[in-house]
Amino acid sequence: MFQRLWLASVAQPLHPLLSVACAAVALTFGLLLRDATTLLTFVAGLGLIFMMVGYGVLLARIARIVIPLAALIGVLAALFGGGMSGGLMTFGRINLLGLTTAFAWTIDPTQLARALRQAGAPPLVALSLLITVRSIPTLVGEAVRIRDAMRVRGLSLRHTPLRILYRALVVPLLIRVLTLSESLALALETRAFTGDPCATIYRPVALHGRDYATLALMVILMSGVAGVPWLCN
Amino acid sequence: MALQLTISHLRFRYATASEWVLQDVSLDLRGGEFVVIAGTSGAGKSTLLNCVNGSVVVYGEMHGQIALNGVALTGQPVAQIARSISTVAQDAEGQIVTLRVEDEIAFGCENLGFTPEAIQQRITRSCALLDLNPDQATSTLSGGGQQRLITAAALAMGTHVILLDEPLANLDAVGTARLLDTLRDLASHGALVIVAEHRLDVILPYATRLIWIEDGRVTLDLPHNEALRYVQRLIRCMTVVSVPDRQMPLDIAIELDSVSAGYAAVPVLRDITLTVRQGEQIVVLGENGCGKTTLLRVIAGLLKPQRGRLRYGLDRLRPLSRRIGYVFQSPNSQLFMDSVRAEIAVQAESAELVDEVVSLFGLASLSDRHPQALSTGQKRLVAVAAMVAMRPDVLLLDEPSVGQDARGVERMLAALGALRQKWGLTLIVVTHDWRCAGAFGERVIWINQGVIYRDGDASMLPDYFLRAYPCRDEVNR
Amino acid sequence: MIARLTLRDVVFLAVVAACLLAVSFLVVPLVISLPIPGIRSLAPSPFYGLLLAVALLKVRQPGTLFVVVSLVGLVLLMMAWVMFAVNVIAGALAELIVLAVFRSYQRNEAVLLAAGLYMPLTVLVSLGIGAVVGGPTIAQFLMNPWLIVPVLGATALLSFIGAWAGLRLGQELRVAGVLRA
């Protein structure tokens, strides 16, 4: 739901599985770096890759929130005994966290589900992701109906005993979860779903040049960041 | 290419109940037919469809045979049967599995192994037929859009037998005409279309055959013309209501003055001026999307009017929730206690009233049962009873007859009539069902596209329910 | 292990995950302004306990809890991958602990423990991840017992209350014939 806003700023997102992989790898790599300068160089490098790949606007939006936050926590860390290097490390790490989250923000659940199926995951796994995302608005709608039902019945925080109020909230929601899952399971079956991995994938997600480029750039960056100090020694 | 679906001596009973929902149903259905299955009870129609597509078998005990082109369907798994028979069930929102319209339509086709190009063609065709945008997110669809989507998804599978359960729910006049045209077209090309529907006034002009199920048996099997005449007669008979001799109407209960209301910039209801007097029994008719439910919500205080004034002439000392009772279309959101009696007692005005309501609605035998274990019709009775136990001055009912058999509707009518005598209970009922409209309609308000089109008495009912019918000459041919 | 979950079970668990997400989306913004640390875990805790208990009552298999919270995590992955890691790790831990103690979910006590244990575990795992990522200074700050104990305790309390309520409600619905196992 919130993703819609952010996705709009990225015209052509990367392949979803690549995004996940990059985020994971970048994070692990970044956390293993021992000194502040290398870390900050790495983070800056990542930012550059973002811009080259077309995520510039997204980067700007994230930077606006993350950099001040990281600075604040970094200063606190420095003051509380980390010293300059400790503060910079923390600053770097929070920024890293923010950047890798950006990878995640560009993932569209439909694309992720398709990519998972292409990668060989059982169709039911991809489908359950879709079902979960799909059901959230339905259940939020039920919550709204429940609120209306409570108003119409005159139930309110002030006048109704808690055990009745809680039932009025929870029981209809649970019932909707049960009826919804039965209805969905039936819908799957009546559309001939058997979990067969050989079923067609309507719009498979392709790997574009952009994806390969990102991969290459990441590799270069990481080897550069890791290699240079080693070379210098 | 003669498609044939044979149902022989079908009997079905749910595991949780002792009565047989279907007692002895035998039908011979062919390709090219557009069959409407009707009946007064809610359960029989859906159960029949669910026996054909195999989905209900695990929930009970089934006897008899169902065969498609000579091949027995009984015993096959649902997903296997789905390769030849597609189903559009009730609860449209609960059948949408994916996040985009095109994916939803593609889903069934993917499972059948069509190529992506074939799937693309089917998506384009279905979207054109049912007025859908393939790129749209499924969460942004209206109720009617959802209904059209699940229908498109089933039709795209290209099976020769299509089952639809109450497919007209949430569809407005345009959507209804589109869907029925599409179905009639499919049938004329050799498909077998079977629809379970209670809105016979709308669907029969398109259908080729009417099958009526009563008490688990087939009591009527009429071809097109005879079916039309039969239902026309029914509508004319049932909608003649003798206005009871009462005194002049009393004080004003609710007054709307040029009220406009809605959910977005363009209001759904426009410039509604209406006066409801105490003790009146009003039926509100109109297409889906015309604003009937919005009107109820405004009266109940759930939606503030964007323009105009709303006044209540009732006992101002009582909170609004006690002056106006509102029973939703789906009773599940309003039931939450662990026994029927407790449910009715939750906000009841007094213990005596609880007892009275329980006996009036005939719920004594059910009073210890868990509300969620009841049938839809029974749940609705309980929801109405619980609302009535709050002693409202005005009761709003949204589709009270859906899922109810004739007895349930009568019981509700009797109970509400008694309460009207007792404390002048005012009733406003929204319905699509002509039996219900006939039973409750002393004053009839017809809303069309957000404005009050006509406001009169029961003599209006035949006009409304026969408006979809071809002209008299054609029917009598 | 997970192969014993039927299609209906998996769909049900996916919808439970959606319900957890829906509740969080509705509840958390309401309370986020309150200056209580850990409020983001505290507020949804009773609902998590309740829904997980009901889910476990319906599908009494090892892996049920893990599937639900992983699905929640997978959706959150698309917003903040940390949540995915927290959910998966906490879910796995909860299952392992309960299975070590009870061996299966046949007993209601096992259901209660699993459903109640999950949220407090997420607090611990979050702290752990925060410590690892933030570096040694942050770790020191986070490992403050004055901070951890109240948050953990409150989360655990709310979570177990929710789980107990869920257990009772689930059994009531099962007797009514609505919760088909």
Chain A stretch 109-138, residues whose beta carbon is closer than 8 A to a beta carbon of chain C: 109, 112, 124, 128-129, 131-136, 138
Of C14, C67, C81, the CB nearest to A131: C14
**Given this model, what pLDDT does residue A1 score?**
43
* C129-165: pLDDT as tens digits: 877 776 666 677 777 778 788 889 999 999 999 999 9
**Given this model, what pLDDT does residue B477 score?**
41
Q: How far is B79 from chain C (nearest CA, A)?
A: 12
Under the banding of pLDDT at 50, 70 and 90, the label for residue A189 is: very high
Mean pLDDT of A198-205: 84
B179 touches chain A (CB under 8 A): no
Using only C-alpha atoms, chain B has a radius of gyration, in whole angstroms, of: 23
**Given this model, what pLDDT does residue A79 score?**
79
Residues contacting A68, CB < 8 A, separation 6+: none
Assess whether pLDDT exceeds 60 at residue B473: no
**A51 falls within a domain:** yes
Q: How far apart are alpha carbons C10 and A185 in whole angstroms?
A: 9
Which amino acid is located at B474 in the chain?
A: E
Assess whether pLDDT exceeds 50 at residue B474: no
Q: Tokens at residue B341, please?
A: 């009696």
Q: What are the distances in angstroms from CA A139 to CA B93, B206, B364, C20?
A: 11, 36, 34, 10
Q: How far apart are alpha carbons B304 and B312 in whole angstroms?
A: 14
Within 10 A of A136 (CB to CB), how many other CB atoms are there?
A: 22
Show residues of chain B in contact with A179, CB under 8 Å: 91, 94, 332
Assess whether pLDDT exceeds 70 at residue B10: yes
Least confident piece of the model among A6-15, B174-183, B359-368:
A6-15
**Given this model, what pLDDT does residue B41 score?**
67
Using only C-alpha atoms, chain A has a radius of gyration, in whole angstroms, of: 24
Show residues of chain C in contact with B338, CB under 8 Å: 172, 176
- Strand ranges across the sheet with B209-214: B71-72, B60-68, B4-14, B22-30, B217-223, B209-214, B34-38, B192-196, B161-165, B85-88
Of C172, C175, C177, the CB nearest to B16: C177
Q: Are residues A125 and A93 in the same domain?
A: no
Of C11, C137, C141, the CB nearest to A184: C11
**A196 falls within a domain:** no
Least confident piece of the model among B79-93, B326-340, B432-446, C10-24:
B432-446
Under the banding of pLDDT at 50, 70 and 90, the label for residue B445 is: very high
SS3 B443: strand
* B275-312: pLDDT as tens digits: 998 888 999 999 888 889 999 999 999 999 998 988 88
Q: How far is A54 from chain B (nearest CA, A)?
A: 23
Interface-testing mutation among B14, B18, B372, B375, with chain C (most C C-beta atoms within 10 A): B372
Is C172's CB within 8 Å of B338's CB? yes
Average pLDDT, whole number, for chain B?
89
Judge contact between B347 and B390, C-beta under 8 A.
yes
Q: How far apart are alpha carbons C71 and C21 in whole angstroms?
A: 10
**Given this model, what pLDDT does residue B239 score?**
58
Assess whether pLDDT exceeds 90 at residue C110: yes
Q: Are residues A39 and A103 in the same domain?
A: yes
**A198 falls within a domain:** no
Q: Specify burial of residue B82 (Cβ count, 10 A radius: 0-12, 13-18, 19+).
A: buried
Show residues of chain C in contact with A132, CB under 8 Å: 14-15, 17-18, 21, 71-72, 74-75
Q: How far apart are alpha carbons B438 and B201 in whole angstroms?
A: 14
Q: How far apart are alpha carbons B165 and B85 in whole angstroms?
A: 13
Q: Are residues A104 and A9 in the same domain?
A: yes
CA atoms within 13 A on the CB side of A28: 7
Name the residue with tokens 């498909």: B191
**Given this model, what pLDDT does residue C49 score?**
95
Tell me phi and psi for residue B378, to 5 degrees: -65, -40
Interface-testing mutation among C6, C16, C78, with chain A (most A C-beta atoms within 10 A): C78
Judge contact between A100 and B62, C-beta under 8 A.
no
* B308-356: pLDDT as tens digits: 988 888 677 788 888 899 999 989 999 999 999 999 999 888 899 999 9
**Given this model, what pLDDT does residue B247 score?**
59
Show residues of chain A in contact with C161, CB under 8 Å: none
Query: Which pTM value belongs to this model?
Result: 0.91
Q: What are the distances in angstroms from CA B207 to CA B32, B194, B259?
A: 11, 9, 40
Query: Which one-letter DSSP state was computed for residue B331?
Result: G
Mean pLDDT of A101-112: 83
**A199 falls within a domain:** no
CB pairs under 8 A between A and C: 148
- Highest-confidence range of A170-179, A189-198, B225-234, B442-451, by mean pLDDT? A170-179
**Given this model, what pLDDT does residue B410 score?**
86
- What is B186-242 written as a DSSP string? HHHTT-EEEEE-S-HHHHGGG-SEEEEEETTEEEEEEEHHHHHHHHHHHHHHHT--P
Q: Are residues A87 and A175 in the same domain?
A: no
Chain B stretch 311-340, residues whose beta carbon is closer than 8 A to a beta carbon of chain A: 319, 321-322, 324-326, 328, 330, 332-337
Q: How far apart are alpha carbons B284 and B215 in whole angstroms?
A: 30
Q: Are residues A59 and A139 in the same domain?
A: no
* Residue scoring higher pLDDT (C170 or C3): C170
The closest alpha carbon to B103, from A205, C58, C88, belongs to A205
Beta strands at B192-196 and B161-165: parallel, antiparallel or unpaired = parallel
Q: Are residues A8 and A104 in the same domain?
A: yes
Q: How far is C21 from chain A (nearest CA, A)?
A: 7
C109 touches chain B (CB under 8 A): no
**Given this model, what pLDDT does residue A3 score?**
44
- The CATH code for residues B4-238 is 3.40.50.300
Show residues of chain A in contact with C54, CB under 8 Å: 174
Q: How far is B116 from chain A (nearest CA, A)?
A: 5
**Given this model, what pLDDT does residue B475 score?**
44
**A172 falls within a domain:** yes
Is B373's CB within 8 Å of C172's CB? no
Query: Which one-letter DSSP state was computed for residue B57?
Result: G
Q: Tokens at residue B302, please?
A: 């759930």
Interface-testing mutation among A190, A193, A203, with chain B (most B C-beta atoms within 10 A): A190
Show residues of chain C in contact with B372, CB under 8 Å: 173, 176, 178
Query: Residue A164 belongs to what domain range?
Result: 121-190
Using only C-alpha atoms, chain C has a radius of gyration, in whole angstroms, of: 16
What chain C residue is nearest to B95 in terms of C-alpha separation? Answer: C11
Is A199's CB within 8 Å of B113's CB? yes
Q: How far is C126 from chain A (nearest CA, A)?
A: 14
Show residues of chain A in contact with C51, CB under 8 Å: 174, 177
What chain A residue is nearest to C142 in terms of C-alpha separation? Answer: A77
Mean pLDDT of C70-95: 89
Show residues of chain C in contact with B99, CB under 8 Å: none
Interface-testing mutation among B81, B333, B380, with chain A (most A C-beta atoms within 10 A): B333
Query: Which one-letter DSSP state was computed for residue C50?
Result: H
The structural architecture, per CATH, of the domain B252-465 is: 3-Layer(aba) Sandwich (3.40)
Q: Tokens at residue B252, please?
A: 């004003």
Angle, alpha carbons B263-A137-C61 (nearest 5°): 160
SS3 B449: coil
Assess whether pLDDT exceeds 80 at residue B250: no
Least confident piece of the model among B202-211, B243-252, B364-373, C145-154:
B243-252
A155 touches chain B (CB under 8 A): yes
Judge contact between A10 and A54, C-beta under 8 A.
yes
**Given this model, what pLDDT does residue B73 score?**
92
* B4-238 and B252-465: identical CATH topology: yes
Is A193's CB within 8 Å of B111's CB? yes
* A42-94: pLDDT as tens digits: 888 888 888 888 788 888 888 888 888 888 888 877 877 777 877 888 888 88
**Given this model, what pLDDT does residue B42 score?**
60
* Residue scoring higher pLDDT (A29 or C169): C169
Is B372's CB within 8 Å of C178's CB? yes
- What is C135-181 written as a DSSP string? -HHHHHHHT-HHHHHHHHHHHHHHHHHHHHHHHHHHHHHHHTT-S--
The domain locations on chain B are 4-238, 252-465
Mean pLDDT of C82-110: 92
Could you report how far apart the first and last alpha carbons of chain C are, in Å? 18
Assess whether pLDDT exceeds 70 at residue B44: yes
What chain C residue is nearest to B15 in terms of C-alpha separation? Answer: C177
Q: Are residues A89 and A173 in the same domain?
A: no
Q: How far apart are alpha carbons B466 and C117 in whole angstroms?
A: 62
SS3 B426: strand
In chain A, the number of structural domains is 2
The chains found to touch B (3+ Cβ pairs under 8 angstroms) are A, C
A151 touches chain B (CB under 8 A): yes
Show residues of chain B in contact with C172, CB under 8 Å: 338, 370
Which amino acid is located at A114 in the chain?
A: R
Is C176's CB within 8 Å of B16's CB? no
Assess whether pLDDT exceeds 50 at residue C1: no
**A201 falls within a domain:** no
Assess whether pLDDT exceeds 90 at residue C112: yes
Least confident piece of the model among A107-111, B263-267, B312-316:
B312-316
SS3 B66: strand
Mean pLDDT of A120-142: 92
